Amino acid sequence: MRKITASLAALGALVPMGFAHAQTPGGQPMPWQMGLPQPATAIMQELRWFEQFTLWFIIPITLLVLFLLAWCMVRYRASANPVPSRTSHNTTIEVIWTVAPVVVLLMIAVPSFQLLTSQYTPPDEPEITIKATGLQWFWEYEYQDAEENVSFASLMLRDGDRAAQNKEDRALYPRLLAVDNEVVVPVNTTVRVLVTAADVIHAWKIPAFGIMSDAVPGRINETWFRAEREGIFYGMCSELCGMDHAFMPIAVRVVSQELYNDWLVAAATDVPGANQALRAAIYAESSVAQAAD
């Protein structure tokens, strides 16, 4: 706690200057991006592998179908084939178009079920449980197993509030993705997320973590993640939930265990102050590391 307080007093005013070097944002779209976002969890690494694996089937099948369509249109057009064939049966073709799809489906199904099992099987017992409640149009979070009572609302960061919150760096705090209060978790820690809603159906999604869970009123869905690198990771509500659905971002800040422990103590009484102190502490660590280099 003393470390964060001292960092805030010394560096609070300097946070906007060069803070982009302290942590990197994740999960936001990049120019000309064609694939999935860079993974921050083992599950997302598996998802990226599975996506690339399925492309080895999708691309040849697409090209084969395109070739067959073009061949049929040219070879069997009315001018080139005035008397159409009356063939009604071909055993070889029927065997091929039955066996080949079965083989392809089996080759896709096996790793698919393995991935599905991994998504529902945390590597160890979750150390942190966070309840995420969707409302029109923001999120509320509650740290359920912490000794301190930590709960807060997380709303989209408005441009007029950037200066007051030291979040003027749009590369680190992108427009329509940054929030006023991020979810803070430690790195390399299994986190359970209980997802629900208070009004209509929402969805809690962090692409870089490879997770998405529907938030349904009157029901609690459970998901988990284990972030393997520090940074800020963004997501959005992924269920059409009303007029301001597009303005309901999600932000998770992954930090070291030491900084998380200090933040948790401070957030029990002052969440905005704890977040500002955390940003100052991260910037201080980054400045020391850069000076050492």
User: What is the model's pTM?
Assistant: 0.80
pLDDT tops 70 at residue 19 = no
According to the model, what pLDDT value does residue 100 have?
A: 93
pLDDT of residue 147: 75
What are the tens digits of pLDDT across the range 130-145? 999 999 999 999 999 8
pLDDT, tens digit, 9 for 90 and up, residues 214-272: 999 999 999 999 999 999 999 999 999 999 999 999 999 999 999 999 999 999 999 99
pLDDT surpasses 60 at 98 = yes
99 to 103, 112, 209: CA distances (angstroms):
6, 20, 36
Residue of 3 and 81 predicted with greater confidence? 81
pLDDT in tens, 194-207: 999 999 999 999 99
Sign of CA dihedral 161, 163, 166, 168: positive
Per-residue pLDDT reduced to its tens digit, 20-39: 333 455 667 777 878 888 89
Residue 86 has pLDDT above 60, yes or no: yes
- Going along the chain from its start, the domains and CATH numbers come out as 19-30+125-292 (2.60.40.420), 42-119 (1.10.287)
Q: Which residue has the higher pLDDT, 271 or 3?
A: 271
pLDDT digits (tens, 9 = 90+) for 147-184: 778 999 999 999 999 988 889 888 889 989 999 999 99
Residue 282 pLDDT grade (very low, low, confident, very high; cuts 50, 70, 90): confident
pLDDT, residue 255, reads 95
How much is the pLDDT for 109?
95
